[in-house]
Amino acid sequence: MTKQIYFLCTGNSCRSQMAEGFAKQLLPADWTVASAGIEQHGLNPRAVQVMAEVGIDISQQQSTLIDPAYLAQCDLVVTLCGDARDRCPVTPPSVKKLHWPLPDPAQATGTEDAQLAVFRSVRDEIKQRILALN
């Protein structure tokens, strides 16, 4: 039986996109994986870059809005920021929810290297959390 997972954050540009990329690679084939946001901010180029560094191409993923029909049929919903957790539409009791309060790498400041270091840190944390879902 197929299981559905949904990764949600505010703009569906960084954290949820990286989570979708890892989940498609690391979760068993019987999982349907998607990500979405409360808003659409487009795919962050640094997220694409740091995922490519670990061999995962997310460049064709799209920033999308939450689909209430998909959400209602999920087995697991993972929110990656407080905004998504607080503003996520109501789900049926059958939907398990997890909250991963990760920093928003798009808010990182400083040099390009400093910003990329934050993206890499968040990326690696997401990978560990997805591996723990198995």
Catalytic residues: 9, 81, 88
Q: Please give the sequence-ordered ranges of beta strands (E in DSSP) within 62-131, or none if there are none.
A: 76-79, 96-99
Q: Which amino acid would we find at residue 67?
A: D
Q: In the block, which residue shows the tokens 């299981």?
A: 3
Q: In the block, which residue shows the tokens 């209602």?
A: 72
CA distance to 12, 17, 47, 106, per residue, from 34 (Å): 11, 9, 16, 20
Instruction: Say what angle helices 15-26 and 112-133 make with each other, to 10 degrees.
Output: 40
